[in-house]
Structures are given as C-alpha cells and as structure tokens.
Amino acid sequence: MIRRIRSKLLGLMALLVLTLLAAACSAPGGEEEAAGGDAAAGASAAPEESGSEPAGDTPSASADAIKIGFLAATTGTAASSGADMVRGWDLYWELNGDTVAGRQVVTIHEDTAGDPQVGLNKARRLVENEQVSLLVGPLFANVGYAVAEYAGEQGVPNFQQVSSADDLTQRGQIDGVLRVGGWTSSQTAHPAGQWAYDEGYRRALTICSDYAFGQEYCGGFVNTFTDAGGEIVEQLWNPLGTQDFGTYMAQIEQTDADVVFSLQVGGDSVRFVEAWNSFGLKDSGPPLIGGETLLDQSLLRNMGDEAEGLISVGKFAEGREEGATPEFVEAFDEAYGDLPSYYASVSYSAAQWTAQALEDVDGDIDETEAFLDAVRAIEPDTPGGPMALDDYDNPDQNVYIREVQRREDDRLWNVPTQTFENVSQFWEYDPEEFLDHPVYSRDYQGDGVWPEPTQ
C-alpha cells in the first residue's frame, strides 16, 4: 500500500515537473509565433471588472495607444496563409512606423485555428479583455460570419480583408463590417468568364471545391461565361481535402469541353496542379483557367515546373510592374525572404488604409462613425491596385488575368497579362437586380442569361 502511495506521489510530482518544463520551454515572449505576443499581453492578473490592463507587448504601450485585434488562422490547414496575413499587416507598420496622429498603434494577434468557436472566443477576449477599438480578419468565411456578428453586436468595427463570403457585403450586411482591402468570391471570377469567351472558348468544364467558397467562385465564372454565350458542359465538385485527383482527371480526359476552370484551396491546389501535369493534361488537355487560390503565391512557392505557364485570374499579381506592387513585393522579399501572396497583400492594404483613415480623423478611432466615413472616403493605391469602397462596403478593384512565369532568380510568380479595371462585386449588373437573385450555391450557379447586363 505504501508503494502505491509512493507511486501516486511520484506520478503527481512527475506531472508537476513536466508541466513546469513545458511552461519553461515556451516562455512568453520567447516565441516567434504570434502566440508568444499574446502571452505577454495577457500576463497581467486575472481581469478586474474595472477595465483591462494596458497591453504588455514588448514596446510598452502608452495608455493612449490604439489597440487593434488581428485574427488569423495561424494554426491548422491554412496556417501558411494565416502566417502571410500576419506578415503583410506587420510589414506595413514596420516600414512606416507604428505612430499615427501622435498615437501608437498596437496590434494584438490571435489565432482562430480556422474554427468559428475558437475565433469567437478570441474575438471576445480581444474586445472584452483587451478593449480593442478595431478587429481585423479573420481568414475563413465561416469564422468571418461569426466574428462579424459579434463585432456588430458590440459596436466594434471589423475589417474583413480576406474572408470573401459574398453575402457579407450583399444580402447579409452587418453594420460596421467593411471589406477594407477585401473582396467577394465571385468578384474575381466574373471577369474570367467574360475573358474565356473573348478568347474563343465556347464549352467549359468546371471543377471546384465543394463548399461555399468554391461554389460562389465557380458561380461567378459560370454566370458571365453563359451570359456571353458560352455553354457549361459539366460541373465537377471535389470535396475539401481531396487527396487524389485521379478520378477527376480521368473524367476530364473524356470531356469535349474546350476550356477547364478550376478553383481549389490549400493543399488541394498543390495536388491538383500536380495531377494536371502528371496525367498529361497540361500538354494535351484543354487549356486550364485557375481561380486565384489555385496558383496563389503562398502555394506557388511550393510548386515546381508543373505550374509554369498556367493561367489564372486574381486580384493580386505579384509580378505586376506598376503602381504600388513592385515596391511592396521587394520590401516583403527583403523582410521575409519570400514573395508575397494575396493574403499578405490584402492585409498590407488594410493596414495602409487604416493608417490613412486614422490620420484623417486625427487618431480618434473611437468616434466610430466618423472613422468609418473616413475609411469610405479614401481610395488608396494598394499593392493589389487602386481600390475604392462601393455602397455596400466592398472595394471596386483591379482583376488580372495572370500567367505563372519563372523569374531570373528561378522563383515562380504570377505576371499579369491583362487587367480589368474597377471591377465591382456585381460585375456589370445592376446591384438591386443582382441582389434579387439568391447567392451563388451548388444549386444556383447563374446558368443561362440573368440578369440582363446593364451594358
């Protein structure tokens, strides 16, 4: 019996020691991850009802600091995209200093892990514990909806620069939620349909990720392609996380379509491009038009020859030689050793936009309405091109047809071959008529001619 007590005591001691070791191994502030910064910020005592402690980030914040909460999925399946979001945002403040209108801008980073519950908890912590004046992010659309709802309720503005669920700036608008630097899923796809028709294609096959984002994106392409007079031969839908595209490639080999449109995300994109090449479709199959996330730089970095020469549509092209793009690309490369992806670009644009709006209101971010009006009045020239918010708080912006090319230093990047300027989320349709129809979904892809283009 004594032995059993001893072994239990030993067990408890072991638990304690290991816990302490684990805690010591990850001392707050010692991590490069954003989480380390959180630990420092939260290192104050249990929150008192009277208010929060000033953020304890490495540069000690003055009581006057503007606190911004930044939500991104830095762990989980989209970790690399989330990391790019953080890097893009941080880069702006590093290059331009973090003092605006005499006040210091302090960003508190939180990880949503791509889960709406976790994202909501973190948003709650940022708003109630850290008393942030602005929420930026998150990455995924479903987390975006949850956070937008909460932010709207709390009266805290939320800039969603990545999450592109169409309805958030269409039928499901929430007060105070603006797509600063952002976009809608179908916005980028609309020009692709028109472009495909103009290039002479008449019969298209689509293969898109089978969830809301893929369905909205594909819907955009199908809508404009059929409106121009094209025909959709077949629509394939692959589930998120498809490991093997073999069966889909086999089906595509059989098709008589003259162009293939594909939208994939994350690891699926890498596997798709690989399969496209290894099945010989790149050489002998119909031409491929990719959605932006098929060949985004965050994935392109990890691809090889199989991606070279592929065409895609996107609102950011890191190979663009005009405007604010080259400077941004160079600065990002110098700071992080990577070419920036669109996640980095939109986050940088959001920071740029926010900073300018803060200047315009003299740093008075807590006068929310005035601040948001200032945001709406600005038309910045961002690394993605010039942007201006429309009446529904989504930016009109450039959309590029891009080609993957190899640079002199042997890295792959997207170079624009054609630019559509000032593209609205409603393409050329009348917004009210557009909104009368349901949002794009698996059942509703905008087939046929609807609504009548205003042109």
Partner 1 sequence: MSRAHMFGFTVLAVAVAVGVVVPYAFGSYLVSIVTLALIYSLYAMSIDLMGGYGGLVTLGQGGILATGSYGVAYVAARLGGGFGQQLLWGVLATVLISAVFAVMAMRTSQVYFLMVTLAQGMIVWGFVTRSTRLGAENGLRGIARPPAVSAYWKYYYLCLAIVVICGLLMALITRSPLGLSMRALKDSESRLHMLGYNLAATKFYVFMLSGFFAGVAGMLLAYYTKFVSPSNAAFAISGRGVLMAILGGIGTLFGPVIGAFIIVLTENILSLYIARWTTVLGLIFILTIMFAPDGLVGAGRSAFARWRGRRGDAGGTGGRSDLLEARHGAGPLDERSAVRSDPESGSRSGPLEGETTT
Angle (deg, nearest 10), helices 212-228 and 185-198? 30
Least separation in angstroms between CB 151 and partner 1: 12
Select 26 or 96, whichever has its Cβ closest to partner 1. 26
The four Cα atoms 110, 113, 116, 118 give a dihedral, to 10 degrees, of -60
For tokens 């369905």, name the residue: 215
User: Token pair for residue 62?
Assistant: 């003055």
Select 34 or 275, whichever has its Cβ closest to partner 1. 34
Least separation in angstroms between CB 48 and partner 1: 6
> How far is it, in rounded angstroms, from Cα 117 to Cα 94?
31
Residues that bind partner 1 (CB under 8 A): 1, 5, 7-8, 11-12, 14-15, 18-19, 22-23, 25-26, 28, 31, 33, 35-36, 38-39, 41-43, 46-49, 52, 115-117, 120-121, 124-125, 128-129, 141-142, 145-146, 149-150, 153, 165, 211-212, 441-443
- Nearest Cα neighbor of 135 from 112, 104, 114 is 112
Select 128 or 305, whichever has its Cβ closest to partner 1. 128
Least separation in angstroms between CB 38 and partner 1: 6
Select 81 or 398, whichever has its Cβ closest to partner 1. 81
Least separation in angstroms between CB 266 and partner 1: 14
Select 167 or 227, whichever has its Cβ closest to partner 1. 167
CA 191-196-202 angle, 5° bins: 135
Select 233 or 444, whichever has its Cβ closest to partner 1. 444
For tokens 């020859």, name the residue: 305
For tokens 């008192």, name the residue: 48
Least separation in angstroms between CB 279 and partner 1: 29
Is residue 144 classed exposed, middle or buried when 0-12, 13-18 and 19+ CB atoms within 10 A define those classes?
Answer: buried
- Nearest Cα neighbor of 347 from 65, 91, 133 is 91
Least separation in angstroms between CB 121 and partner 1: 6
Q: How many CB atoms lie within 10 A of CB 410?
A: 6
Select 43 or 377, whichever has its Cβ closest to partner 1. 43
Q: Where are the alpha helices (DSSP H) in 304-367?
A: 325-336, 342-360
Least separation in angstroms between CB 161 and partner 1: 18
- Nearest Cα neighbor of 401 from 258, 264, 196 is 196
358, 100 in Cβ contact below 8 A?
Answer: yes
Select 49 or 256, whichever has its Cβ closest to partner 1. 49
> How far is it, in rounded angstroms, from Cα 153 to Cα 171?
18
87, 58 in Cβ contact below 8 A?
Answer: no
Least separation in angstroms between CB 105 and partner 1: 22
Least separation in angstroms between CB 354 and partner 1: 25
User: Token pair for residue 87?
Assistant: 């890097």
Least separation in angstroms between CB 149 and partner 1: 4
Provide the residue count of the chain.
455
Select 220 or 416, whichever has its Cβ closest to partner 1. 220
Select 191 or 220, whichever has its Cβ closest to partner 1. 220
Query: Each residue of 431-451: b (16+ CB within 10 Å) or e?
Result: eeebeeeebbeeeebbeeeeb
Least separation in angstroms between CB 165 and partner 1: 6
Q: How many CB atoms lie within 10 A of CB 377?
A: 12
What radius of gyration do the chain's Cα atoms show?
24
For tokens 């939180």, name the residue: 110
Is residue 356 classed exposed, middle or buried when 0-12, 13-18 and 19+ CB atoms within 10 A define those classes?
Answer: middle
Select 100 or 439, whichever has its Cβ closest to partner 1. 439
